[in-house]
Structure 1
Amino acid sequence: MLTYRDIDPVAIQLGPVAVYWYGLMYLIGFGAAWLLGRWRAHRDDSPIHPRQMEDLLVYGAIGAIVGGRIGYVLFYGPGLLTTDPLAVIRIWEGGMSFHGGLIGVLAALWLFGKRTGNVFFRLADFAAPLVPIGLGAGRIGNFINGELWGRVGDVPWAMVYPPMGPDPRHPSQLYQFFLEGVVLFIALWLFTRKPRPTMAASGLFLVLYGSFRFMVEFVRLPDEHIGYLAFDWVTMGQVLSLPMVALGAVLVFLAYRQSAKSEWPVSP
């Protein structure tokens, strides 16, 4: 049994200015996406030029932050839009939704594609392997902040988090870091090392992330103000992840069916 060592959420304090670890995790995610994207953009089959990576990153960052916050209010803050609509812009109070952020990023890719004349799914396939490092970094931020803990468990690596009592708990943030960050990145990066049918990388991202998130939700505690939605185990995260898996499987199927007909171009 392990004990969680309290970590100051403030990484750097410069007078009245505080730099939080969670904010640095966002910086790491966006920085990694920029570096990897610049490298991938030099490939002959890239949908963008390396010089466009900065613009694409700005679009994606805005989409992730705006979509993540709106998604949190819609999915995890029922009634806030009517009782306190300004809660949407109070990001400093905490609360971001991955599923909302994903929708925001997809909207940003669509807008970027309209502006540059790119096919949406070619951009989505290009971006898919760039996302997992940011997801993993975000889960480390959750761990440092002491949030999103799991249920009580008896596994050897279970941790006692004193503010929640003496019982050891699943460090579900670290499970998500490993699956959504490390495993997802390796799988997508290896998969996209050679050209694949358009939509295949996007579909694989949805299938893997949705599956990983669905599994971890079995040991992760649901948001206290929402609780379990059904049967004392169904969570909002699972409800939102199942459609991802289904849609991803459809995209992969369509990608390879169309590829077999040699009708669609390939994505990087």
Structure 2
Amino acid sequence: MTDTHPGYFSPKGGLPPQTSLMTQRAVFTPAYAFIPKGCFSDIVTSNLPGWRRTRLWLIARPMSGFAETFSQYVMEVAAGGGSDSPDPETGAEHWLFFTEGLATLTIGTTGYEMEAGSCAYIPPRTPWTLLAEGTGPARFHWLRKLYEPAPGLTPPQAFVINERDVPIRWMPDTGDRWGTTRFVDPDDVSHDAHVNIVTFQPGGVIPFEETHVMEHGLYVLEGKAVYKLNRDWVEVEAGDFMWLRAYCPQACYAAGPGRFRYLLYKDVNRHARLRGPGAFGPAR
């Protein structure tokens, strides 16, 4: 296994010097939030109960009137750190995507060696642990969502895979310039969310404004592009994060000299809620 992958960006923290100009691009709107990589400083990190030698940037969480379904952390676990009880919320499902370092992930009683490019899915009510075992920190994205059961379905099975072993599915009629690395079969409706990697070759575009019910988290792993967020074209690059609420129009033009890639979350495969939080009818 290798500690690093040259294509993935991982924040290292730090603090800009006092001589820096405050010319960052961060913005929060009713339709989207944009967190540029320069905002990933030491002073906005958090710690978690039950985690040793670990800090994280908490970049998405459910918020009334905005995103509703998921949380996303950018994790940094120092060598020898980790957790034997990572999450007290037993109803949560988890996706881990590693960008740097080495770790052992144990799901149930099965251990997996995680490296850059490794992706794990952990179903709800499944015990798991993690130990960073490289010479440097293990860095990874951790996405959490309360699993939404559906009649006749059981939760998906856990899996671990590396993205290099998953072929990119290129969109039709794009000349292999826009494609998706799909870690699960999109026709498997036992999954209530997808975490994929989207790839654009230079010049690739989303040639229309996607406007749909799925909310999104997009962390740029590699390259740069201009991204349409609601009414705004925003220049984005590796290390930036975009958080789109449902129905926020989006489009993309990969304008950089190299390929542009991001880790994508979206909720899928369930009825729209008519009762309870975010709906009109009373809970029952």
The question of a shared fold, defined as TM-score above 0.5 by the shorter chain, is answered with: no
The structure showing larger relative contact order (alpha-carbon pairs under 8 Å, at least 6 residues apart) is: 1
Which one has the bigger strand percentage? 2
What TM-score results when the alignment is normalised by the length of structure 1? 0.27
What TM-score results when the alignment is normalised by the length of structure 2? 0.26
